[in-house]
Amino acid sequence: MKSVITLFLILSIVAGNAQTRLTPGERSFEKKWIKSETYTMTWYALKDTLKMEIGEVSTEVLKDKELLTIVTSVAMKNSKAPWIDTTVARLSTLAPIRHTSSNMQRDMVLNFGKVVTGQYNDKTKQVQTIVSDTTRAAYFDSNLYPALITWLPLKDGYTQDISIYDYNPTGKIGVIGAFIKNVTSGTFQSNKSGNREVWIVSVRDEISGDLIQTSMTYYIDKSDRRLWKQEISAGARKMLMQRKEL
């Protein structure tokens, strides 16, 4: 009897601590932080004390009365053409509508809904796949969730599980999770704006398939939610993205 009571208490604690995953909705984020803007992050690879520039990531956020569009262009130093992703979502809820992606290796079009449709064209293998994936949970586009983090009600100690959809034939396909593990207060030294008060947000996700080895840390301005810096750790590989100041 004692063991049964102990098991019941353990299950009650686990259930009480279980967090509902965030999904699109009018109360899922703070709309006041969303604004049209364009910014560029310089991408570095880190090794010991060396910092080597490997590319740039430019992001354009377009906000109108009904839609939110995010266009991301990744230009690597050794690549002839940029990797361009375009995400379209409903502004009121951030429910995803469409995601297009193009680079030297593949082209992809996803139309979101309960059934995700579209196509995936592997240019390397010369194989085209028709996408028809029935989902069983609401979700954000995985290409939008890094921006979503900057629009959440961040505070010290904040945690949140986020439901996202990702399509990667070499990894995971379907609704997976992104996890804000912790938020702390800190500072970032801007070359032009001086010392900035920031939220330091620790994040992991299931996109890479390895929650233990891969992690991201975002440095987000408390006053306007600008993303100043992002640190990426993927096993032994360490990378850094830092905002270019005009």
Query: Residue 212 above 70 pLDDT?
Result: no
Task: Give Cβ neighbours of residue 193 (< 8 Å, ≥ 6 apart).
Answer: 245
Phi, psi values for residue 31, rounded to 5°: -65, -25
Mean pLDDT of 24-49: 95
- Residue 217 or 5, more confident: 217
- Please report the pLDDT score of residue 208 as a whole number: 72
**pLDDT score of 119 more than 60:** yes
Average pLDDT over residues 60-68: 97
CA distance linking residue 218 with residue 149, whole number of Å: 9
CA distance 76 to 78: 6
The DSSP annotation for 135-181 comes to -SS--EETTTHHHHHTTS---TT--EEEEEEEE-TTS-EEEEEEEEE
pTM for the structure as a whole: 0.89
The pLDDT assigned to 110 comes to: 98
**82-86, 118-122, 166-170: which range is least confident on average?**
166-170
Q: Which of 191-195, 224-228, 234-238 has the highest mean pLDDT?
A: 224-228
Q: Given this model, what pLDDT does residue 116 score?
A: 98
| Average pLDDT, integer, range 129-158 | 97
The pLDDT-based confidence of 31 (bands split at 50, 70, 90) is very high
* pLDDT score of 172: 83
**Under a CB-based contact definition with an 8 Å cutoff, are residues 40 and 56 in contact?**
yes
For range 108-116, the mean pLDDT: 97
Report the chain's mean pLDDT, rounded to a whole number: 90
Query: Measured between alpha carbons, how far is 214 from 212 in angstroms, rounded to an integer?
Result: 6
Q: What is the pLDDT of residue 5?
A: 40
pLDDT band at 48 (very low <50, low <70, confident <90, very high): confident
